[in-house]
Amino acid sequence: MTDLDALQAVLGPGARPVRHALTGEAGIALPPFADHHVHLHLIDPGPLAAGGIAAVVDLGGDPDALAGRRVGTPRVAYSGAFLTAPGGYPSGRAWAPDAVVHAVTSPSASPGVAGGARTAVDEMADAGASLIKVVLHAAGPALADDVLGAILDAARLRGLPVVAHAEGRGMAQRAVRAGVDVLAHVPFSEHLHGETIAAAVADGMAWISTLAIHAGSPDAAVARTNLERFAAAGGRVLYGTDLGNTQAGPQRAGVSAAELTALQDAGIRGPELVRTLTDGWPAGAVAGLATFVPGGLPDDEFALPALLAASRVVPVEELLDTTR
Ligand SMILES: [Zn+2]
């Protein structure tokens, strides 16, 4: 086995041994990393690139404020506001000002109808959204099936995937049945039926991890078990932290060793673990940037989260390939 083979066996086909052209450090290059679930209005994105994150996906924010943040590093893709039932989650939460919540009152497929599904989707798409976020929360008012279906139809018309916040009994199952593309959180409210997991995998649904926000809660074990079954069946998993969510304490601005350790505990290891970070959903890979991991491979696979959390984003031209 060459050094390159050994590296790629642990970190996947995108890994290369490199030397940093400016600092002389030896290390490993990987494709750019993304945090697929953040809330920019609740955080300072400044330190993210130094912490290894080259791209973020904002899953609930003010569409007008976000439209001004599309340049620079990290690259930003966003959903705009949460589309929810009138008075539904997250209306009234301290972290969710009015501009980040959009009530959908009817399944109208006509443009320009106040409260209509098509109007809500058009508003987010016109503000530059790369995806649409819907809320299916069992506590409080929830979107009706016909409204949810109309949002999905309108999003398809605009070529946008739909991400659901699914929480409470039956909500993840509803999302799978409706044909939602991505779950914003690995389901954490209940153990899913095997048929629901199989259907999610068969439909190509992706689940965003957000496991570390459940630290210290019984939800953590439920999420872990659901994820273990989904991943073992071939489900697509995306790394995401819900950065801005502090229910389990403040989160680090950058790659989270806690999130990666929780993914590892659910059986997602080595190249599969790296792939959750390098998946380009929804906007494709970030051009011109790479991940630089100082140092070499750890002897112990379980040290990978700490290694990846020590990474930083660099321009590709700063890394010199040292493959022998
Ligand atoms: Zn969130």
CA–CA gap between residue 36 and residue 54 (Å, rounded):
11
Average pLDDT over residues 238-250: 93
CA of 91 to the centre of ligand 1 (A): 14
pLDDT of the residue at 1:
61
Locate the DSSP E strands across 16-65.
16-20, 26-30, 34-38, 55-58
State in Å: Cα 82 to ligand 1 middle. Answer: 10
Distance of CA 37 from the midpoint of ligand 1 (Å): 6
Distance CA 57, CA 114 (A): 27
Q: Count Cβ atoms within 10 A of the Cβ of residue 321 and give its class: 0-12 exposed, 13-18 middle, 19 or more buried.
A: exposed
CA distance 275 to 18: 20
Distance (angstroms) between ligand 1 centre and the Cα of 268 equals: 22
**pLDDT 10s digits, 168-219:** 999 999 999 999 999 999 999 999 999 999 999 999 999 999 999 999 999 9
Quote the ligand 1 centre to 60 CA distance (angstroms): 7
Using alpha carbons, select from 239, 199, 207, 200 the residue that is nearest to residue 223: 207
Predicted local confidence at residue 238, as pLDDT: 98
CA 2 to ligand 1 centroid distance, Å: 42
State pLDDT tens for residues 54-100.
999 999 999 988 987 766 789 999 999 999 999 999 999 999 999 99
> From ligand 1's centre to the CA of 133, what distance in Å?
10
Residue 59 backbone phi and psi in degrees, to 5: -110, 50
CB 311 within 8 A of CB 293: yes
Compute the distance from residue 39 Cα to the ligand 1 centre, in Å: 6
How far is ligand 1, taken at its centre, from the CA of residue 21, in Å?
Answer: 38
pTM of the predicted protein model = 0.97
Q: What is the CA radius of gyration of the chain?
A: 20
The b-or-e profile of 127-151 (16+ CB within 10 A means b, else e) is: bbbbbbbbbbbeeeebbeeebbbbb
Q: How far is the CA of 184 from the centre of ligand 1 (A)?
A: 7
What would the two tokens of residue 147 be?
């409204």
3-class DSSP state of 69: coil
